[in-house]
Amino acid sequence: MTWNATITDDLLVKYLLDEATVAEWEEVEQWLAADARNQKYLDDFKLIIQKSQMPAANDEKDDAALARLHARMEREKAEVPARPLFTRTRAIAAVLMIAVGSWLAYTLLSQNKPISLQSEANVLTQNLPDGSTVILNKHSSFTYPAKFNGDTRTVKLNGEAFFEVAANQQKPFIIEANGVTVQVVGTSFNVKSSQGQTQVIVETGVVKVSKLDKSITLLPGEKVDVASNSDVLAKETNRGKLYNYYYSSELICDKTPLHELVQVLNQKFDTNIVISNPKLEDLPISTTFNNDSLNEILTVIHETFKVGVEYKGNQILLK
């Protein structure tokens, strides 16, 4: 065994009890690495500590060493404040508590992380956490929370969607679209927000539409168009039922102005129909198209109003 004058039984006791300083710990480690017999000596020393928890052995040498170790341990206790028995265990528990707390916080936050939908080139139907349903038109986006917390059910829309809102008098359903707020407690309606204008059409129930400090209430069959650069809220009667074309495949016209039908046809068929004669824009049309082709619809318009239909480049002119 290679001995070092600074490696005393006292130091080994401190080392084994994890009470040595960093410098002392490094010194013992170097001593152990210098000679395998040093490790054997330390192992014997550990055995004495283990026996200190058992009845005295018959080996007098071991008994003497055990007594000497106990005496030194008592002196260590008297000179240095006792180290808590479970210091390391408590530290580990504290770390675990922080880790578990962080995990729970992350889980709770991630569970309510906003969900974003993008319909791209297809109509998308989505059930919401409160039992409401939203039908998202093509090229639209919609954001909602995974769980409706608080006093309201707030969502955001960019594009067009039809809503069937589950009734909840205590928790209003709120849609934010292009600076306009649409609030209901349980109803069905269509919201379209594009090209600097937001349109709301009510099918059932009551809908409150607000912008800045102004608001208006809509009943079934009523609509409002709000420009992004204006806070004027003026409701009017909605003619027909063109707004549901993207999920019903129907175009229901009831004295509907021709320009409104043309606008929907351009969206539905991704075309560019232009009314070249302004006198034709407000001509009322009453009919229902159900899965009709664009050519079939244009033929009906031609026969109804005796207008010309001209294909010119990428445009279809009504004149």
Between 82-91, 145-154, 192-201, the lowest mean confidence (pLDDT) is in 82-91
| 49 neighbors 35 (Cβ within 8 angstroms) | no
SS3 for 9-43 is: HHHHHHHHCCCCCHHHHHHHHHHHHHCHHHHHHHH
Residue 52: which residues within 8 A CB-CB, separation 6 or more?
Answer: 66, 69, 70
Confidence (pLDDT) at 178 = 92
Give the torsion sign (CA, 19, 20, 25, 28).
negative
| pLDDT score of 27 | 85
What's the pLDDT at 63? 52
Query: Which CATH number is associated with domain 239-319?
Result: 3.55.50.30
Between 3.30.565.10, 2.60.200.30, 1.10.443.10, 2.60.120.1440, what CATH number should domain 119-238 receive?
2.60.120.1440
Q: Is 156 helix (H, G, I), strand (E, B) or coil?
A: strand
pTM of this prediction exceeds 0.85? no
The average confidence (pLDDT) of the chain is: 83
- Residue-wise pLDDT tens digits, 207-217: 999 999 999 99
The domain spans of the chain are 9-79, 119-238, 239-319
Least confident interval from 27-31, 127-131, 173-177, 305-309: 27-31
Q: What is the pLDDT of residues 230-243, one digit of tens each?
A: 889 999 999 899 99
How many angstroms separate the CA atoms of 211 and 234, rounded?
12
| Token pair for 66 | 């055990």
Read off the pLDDT of each residue in 25-43 and give the average, rounded to a whole number: 82
> Does position 98 have pLDDT exceeding 80, yes or no?
no
Distance CA 7, CA 206 (A): 88
Query: Could you say which DSSP state residue 135 is in?
Result: E
119-238 and 239-319: identical CATH topology: no
- pLDDT tier for residue 86 given thresholds of 50, 70 and 90: very low
- Helix, strand, coil percentages in the chain from 3-state DSSP, rounded to 5: 35, 30, 35
What pLDDT was estimated at residue 264?
94
